[in-house]
A = this chain, B = another copy of it.
Amino acid sequence: MKTLLMLAAAAVATPAPKPALAPSEIVAAAPKGDWVAISPSDLLVMDLDSGKRVVIQLMPPPFSQGWVGNIRKLAAARWWDGTSVNRVQDNYVVQWGDANAEDKANAKVLPSGLAKVPQSEYAQQVEIRQMYDELVHGYYAYPSMTFYPRPKGSADLGPLLSGAKPYAPMEGFSHGWPVGATGPLFLRLGGKEKDFIWPVHCYGMVGVGRDMPPDTGTGAELYTVIGHAPRHLDRNIALVGRVISGIEHLSSLPRGMGPLGFYEKPEERTTITSIRIGTDVKDLARFEYLSTESASFATYADARANRRDPFFIRPAGGADICNIPVPVRVVK
């Protein structure tokens, strides 16, 4: 008995293993070298008349550069000053621009020289080897499916929820951005598609409003995602950036009660004081993102997919790409 009691006491004295870190703790511990500075020239700064600021990081090449070029011109022309947030649709988007854009007699005139960008720019064709190098991603899942008879009288939803990834054969991160991509040629039947890579609609991504196709929008009308990732918009509409600071000033706006969440009365709109490229803003914070090629990001992403910190009892074993948001921080 005495021996057993002593053993028990010894066991109590053994220090407990350190609890696993939460994703936020991994990010906080990432070394300086794992962070990449975001140039102010790649930032779009939106100041609202509520005094709130929203900062958007514009997408780098090869993505959406026709629209990004237009956005730079619109900001340089101070075109957005005095425009407004016109649409807030719950679990979907916040949209801003000229409230009278559809009313030709009263629409704000666009600066000259804006590019008309073709639909083909929604995705970028890349060499297969380059695609693997771009995507920080060692593999992809091949959707081998087994079919079962469905229960009598039930609707057939199987094919809708099938596939390795419903929205893209491959997904990963390219230079800090979440992207989808086509799979390698030799596994494609018929070889009809080439190798493409495209940005995806996660929370906070910024896209270009447009009219019916083949219109692709100029970039004057922008939106950001404030709900579950509407991935069905991928390759249907241009993505040009992401909100890296202040999205709560948009996501907490009152929802519009008109069709598609547009405000019904002009006084419901939030006025935009100004939108500028970061280099034209004096008091702008400096931002960095966690390199998606870094070891810290891999550890962070692993922790997002497998929560081992003490609150969790069952790690998921995986994560969808929009549940691994790329960490961004303000440099003090």
Contact = CB atoms under 8 A, between A and B. Distances in A.
Main secondary structure of the interface of A (DSSP, over half): loop
B155 A294 contact: yes
Contacts of A305: 160, 166, 232
A158 interface: yes
What interface size band does chain A fall in? 35 or more
Interface in A223-244: 227-232, 234-236
Identical copies in the complex:
2
Contacts of A203: 91, 227-228
A227 B151 CA distance: 33
B231 A202 contact: no
Contact of A252 (B144, B164, B253, B321): B253
Interface stretch (A6-14, A67-75, A105-113, A308-316): A308-316
Nearest to A257: B248
A1 interface: no
A153 interface: yes
B150 A138 contact: yes
17 contacts: A90-B248, A91-B247, A119-B313, A137-B157, A137-B161, A138-B150, A138-B158, A139-B146, A155-B292, A155-B298, A160-B304, A161-B172, A167-B316, A227-B228, A228-B322, A230-B323, A236-B311
Interface of A: 88, 90-91, 119, 132-133, 136-151, 153-167, 171-173, 187, 202-204, 212-213, 227-232, 234-236, 247-248, 251-255, 292-295, 297-298, 301-302, 304-305, 307, 310-324
Given A139-B150, A155-B301, A248-B254, 11 more contacts: A91-B251, A138-B148, A144-B144, A160-B301, A160-B304, A163-B317, A203-B228, A213-B313, A236-B313, A252-B255, A320-B320
